[in-house]
Amino acid sequence: MASGAQVADATGPRPRLRGLGVALIAVFAVVAIVVAATAQAGLWWVPFPVGVLAGLATRRWRRVVLVTVAAAVAGWGLPLWIMALLGYPSGATARAIAGFAGLPPYAAVMVVITLLLAALQVLAGAWLARALAPRPDPAP
């Protein structure tokens, strides 16, 4: 039978993990909503500054950039999906743009490229923030 100290040690880190999980879910929700709203408004460049903020936040939380990338992709995908559900000709537009770009004329190709652009903007912003942010001095 385990002693009380061992049981306390085994359950010690759980509240911290739960708090981190809740924080990451909150980051995902906020970023997805902001990116979706700004994408709908035509502000296609918003994932870049969001990535800069995520890059600065990685000093504290390691997984925040990956969560932010996923949220930006979801945020850009949501308005595209809603427009398709409402009957807007977003598929026809995507096929035409793909044809003009010399890509296969499938709507899915342009949707995937659009979502990849959101991910690349976040990653570029995070890289810039990590590259330019002052690093803490190593302990002697």
DSSP category for residue 22: H
**CA pair distance 110, 101, nearest whole angstrom:** 10
pLDDT value for 138: 65
Single pTM value for the model: 0.78
The structure tokens 């991910």 sit at 119
Distances (CA, A) of 129 to 41, 112, 123: 26, 26, 10
Cβ atoms within 10 Å of 16's Cβ, excluding its own: 9
Instruction: Give pLDDT < 70 ranges for the chain.
Output: 1-17, 136-140
Q: Whose CA is closest to 79, among 135, 32, 9, 18?
A: 32
